[in-house]
Amino acid sequence: MWSPSSEHPLRRFFSGLTEHTFLETLGVADPPLTDYLSDMLSRFISMNAIYRLKDVSGQRLEEVVDMILEAESMPPEGRTRREIHRHIGDFALFWTGLYPEMLKKLQAAFTRDRFVDYCEQGKRSYYIASTFEDDDYREEAPVLRRLSDGFEMFAFGLNHVRQELEKAREYAKSGIQPIL
């Protein structure tokens, strides 16, 4: 899975946009949190990263229900279980915050996700991932806990990040260079 360094131009773009939007819109000045979100946005540029989880036969897991079942099949103390729950939280936050209009498609009548509340599941998964606090996860655990506690607010913030991305796209089309 591609994850750009903190110095990559795309990552720096998302970092600046996320920090500015969260500070201006929500009054949230939380560098570890905005770093986490800008990293997620950078990773999720690729659909392969959004749908990176696979079942035992190698099939891509596209529904949260299947991701949850995969996580629950893992040993409770394992890194893999934590990573799956972290991904479920990211997946739910990404769709809820950036593309809420896609939730209707993701939760269509013919999917099992029609029974899933993405906000509640995102909160739950971030909470579970945050309980892994040993050395490897010590710095990230509090960020995941904040994402769990304020899931709706952070989804709202990401929706404003999307609006700023759309403005930037319009500026680029018009040839006007915004002052950042």
Report the largest interatomic distance among the alpha carbons of the chain, rounded to a whole angstrom. 53
Is pLDDT above 60 for 75?
Answer: yes
Cβ proximity of 62 and 70 under 8 Å: no
Name the nearest CA neighbour of 161 among 19, 8, 12.
Answer: 19
Q: For 35-63, what is each residue's pLDDT tens digit?
A: 999 999 999 999 999 999 998 888 999 99
Token representation of residue 164: 């700023």
Q: For 121-171, what is each residue's pLDDT tens digit?
A: 999 999 999 999 887 888 999 999 999 999 999 999 999 999 998 988 887
Phi, psi (rounded to 5 degrees) for 60: -65, 135
Q: Band of the pLDDT at 178, cuts 50, 70, 90?
A: low
Name the nearest CA neighbour of 33 among 150, 176, 165, 172.
Answer: 150
Q: Band of the pLDDT at 103, cuts 50, 70, 90?
A: confident
User: How many angstroms separate the first and last alpha carbons of the chain?
Assistant: 30
CB atoms within 10 A of CB 164: 16
Which residues share a beta bridge with 54?
60
Token representation of residue 123: 């909160």
Whole-model pTM: value is 0.90
Is pLDDT above 60 for 1?
Answer: no
CB atoms within 10 A of CB 68: 19
Token representation of residue 6: 């903190």
Task: Using CB atoms within 10 Å of the CB of residue 41, give its burial: 0 to 12 exposed, 13 to 18 middle, 19+ buried.
Answer: buried
